[in-house]
Amino acid sequence: MYLIKRITCLIGLTMSIFSFTTTAQSLSKTAQEAIGDRISPIGSAYLDGEIGTHNVATIAAKPAEPRSGEQVYNSYCVACHATGVAGAPVKGNKAAWEPRLAQGMDKLLEHAIKGFNAMPARGTCMDCSDDEMADTVKFLTKNMN
């Protein structure tokens, strides 16, 4: 009885091995490539000390010269401060800016850098320097109606 079980298991194992190899060989080359594409890694990981420069995205360099307040405003601030989105004071609207200006320019600059209420930190300009932020606040608050 023991011998019959062993022989049966051996025959079953042999058949299963051949059935898997036959299935894999019967796939077309295109199908095999498609499977390879689907199971290939998405990205690359590097261990400490390895340098993988071939996959590194180019990072935009910081501007050589500081941007003016107007340049920063037109690039990052205009979407909210031209329309008043989420309660942002509109540029040139004296009534909207007076309560903020009453707190002082230092407080206004602090809110611009750290964020306040719906205003994100640095107004989403993460590469703006503190000086650029100060120039932008000055640009926003001049020529009020």
- Confirm whether 128 is domain-assigned: yes
pLDDT single digits (tens) 91-102: 989 999 999 999
State the Cα–Cα distance between residues 70 and 20, nearest whole angstrom: 68
Residue 93 placed within a domain: yes
| Residues 51-69, mean pLDDT to the nearest whole number | 66
119 Cβ neighbours under 8 A, 6+ residues apart: 80, 86, 88, 111, 112
Alpha helices in 1-145 (DSSP H): 2-26, 29-39, 69-72, 78-81, 94-102, 105-114, 130-141
Asked if residue 30 belongs to a domain, the reply is no
Domain that holds residue 106: 69-140
The mean pLDDT value for 19-26 works out to: 60
pLDDT of residue 60: 55
pLDDT band at 75 (very low <50, low <70, confident <90, very high): very high
Mean of all residue pLDDT scores within the chain: 83
Does some domain include residue 25?
A: no
pLDDT band at 72 (very low <50, low <70, confident <90, very high): very high
Q: What is the pLDDT of residue 27?
A: 74
In one-letter notation, the amino acid at residue 35 is: I
CATH number of the domain enclosing 80:
1.10.760.10
User: Count of domains in the chain?
Assistant: 1
